[in-house]
Structure 1
Amino acid sequence: MTTTGTRGRLSVQDWLEAGFSLLAEAGRPALTIDRLCAQLGVTKGSFYWHFTGMAGYRSALIEAWAQQRGRELPIHRAGPDHPPRERLSMMTEALLHPRHWKLERAMREWARTDPAVAASVTAGDRRARKAVRQAFLDLGFEAAEADLRAQLTFAAGMGFLQMANNSAHPMPVAQRERVLDFMTRP
């Protein structure tokens, strides 16, 4: 399940990926040293080699998620050379990708009780809404209309995320594209 560091030992990234996996499958309560060690098949000594305790581990996990979220969502990387409609489609696809949506939901749930996670989620949401708004501006909508459509599109995406339950594919591609067609219609 894991890849190891250059010397055959677990890396910090291995520990973070194990945490993401536990979060996605069982939520924040699953983040315990015992569960992490069981997931990786190692002793607690390995955990403490990399982290001073769970507080430090959680901080590293939150930071890694924020960085990963920015890299994974193609709309954050897609420049103006991508057509605006394509950027919106890329964002929707990334949000509802099976690898992403369970972890996204778990992080949002965790954010309800942890200010550091809430700040990370809020910052990521701000970047996403800005990118969505820009796509609508690039489609030729006036600023006020772009703001409204961006808010509605973002809210719809969050709603679809919550409705996903445990489906491997929470929303078929054709349906996602129909929603985007509706949202981008003049």
Structure 2
Amino acid sequence: MKLSRGDWLAHGMDVLAKEGFDALKADLLAKSLGVSRGSFYWHFKDIRAFHAALIEEWHQRATQQVIDWLEQGAEESRRLNALVQRAWTVSSRTERAVRAWATHNPEIASRIEAVDTQRIGYIADLLESAGLTPKQARARALFIASAYLGRIVLGDSRSAGLPAKELETIVELLQSGA
């Protein structure tokens, strides 16, 4: 079986979400795929290079692709609502695993900090475009990001109790100038 770099990264994301960061070792990953470690090293210099590529893959999936999706598919006035609806309905398993990994790895923690900054900045931009001042937008963006992280801690089953209409009302309140 010949695996591509993308295959390794996709498998790594699945393993991270299901088994945690301790399972992100070349020999364990190769064994679970039924291939030799040589296949792993064909695509990655070492495990650190794999980890760096994996966290970049997470960033692309969990942030950049979401922003691109919003920019292409939602009216500007509906983007924040679409973002919040998505954030409260997709599985938080991978996000939780990445954040747990960051508690043991300063490089991952640094990358997460950059992603959080990007996310908060994007949300603040959406709030400013809704008419809030930069100061209001920044404070509310930080609140939304904090609420999302709280959802991660609570887990998917507890946060599933927020109906779409209630989330929409919350977004409307946060976008209002009051």
* TM-score (norm. length: structure 1): 0.79
Which of 19-28 and 162-171 deviates more? 162-171
Map of 2:113 onto structure 1: 122
Alpha-carbon distance between aligned partners in 2 of 1:168 and 1:152, rounded to the nearest angstrom: 16
Q: Are the equivalent residues in 2 in contact too, given 1:96–1:161 (CA < 8 A)?
A: no
Q: Which has the higher contact order (CA 8 A, sep 6+)?
A: 2
Q: Are the equivalent residues in 2 in contact too, given 1:136–1:146 (CA < 8 A)?
A: yes
Shift of 1:167: 7.3
Q: Which runs of 4+ in 1 moved over 4 A?
A: 165-172
| Structural RMSD (CA) | 2.7
Question: What are the within-5 Å matches in structure 2 for residues 91-102 of structure 1?
Answer: 91-98=83-90, 101-102=92-93
Residues 98-118 of structure 1 show CA distances to partners (whole Å, capped at 9, x for unaligned) of 35x211111111112212211
Residues 118-152 of structure 1 show CA distances to partners (whole Å, capped at 9, x for unaligned) of 12111111111111111111111122222221111
Shift of 1:90: 2.6
Q: One-letter code of the match for 2:43?
A: H
Equivalent position to 1:137, from 104, 128, 132: 128
Map of 1:88 onto structure 2: 80
Question: What are the within-5 Å matches in structure 2 for residues 52-71 of structure 1?
Answer: 52-71=45-64
Q: Are the equivalent residues in 2 in contact too, given 1:96–1:170 (CA < 8 A)?
A: no
Map of 2:168 onto structure 1: 177
SS at match of 2:2: coil
Larger helix proportion, structure 1 or 2? 2
Aligned residues: 176
Map of 1:25 onto structure 2: 18
Q: One-letter code of the match for 1:88?
A: L
Map of 2:29 onto structure 1: 36
Structure 2 spans left out of the alignment, 5+ residues? none
Q: Are the equivalent residues in 1 in contact too, given 2:70–2:82 (CA < 8 A)?
A: no
Q: Are the equivalent residues in 2 in contact too, given 1:163–1:170 (CA < 8 A)?
A: no
SS at match of 1:98: coil
Structure 1 spans left out of the alignment, 5+ residues? 1-7
**Percent identical residues:** 28
Q: Are the equivalent residues in 2 in contact too, given 1:18–1:39 (CA < 8 A)?
A: no
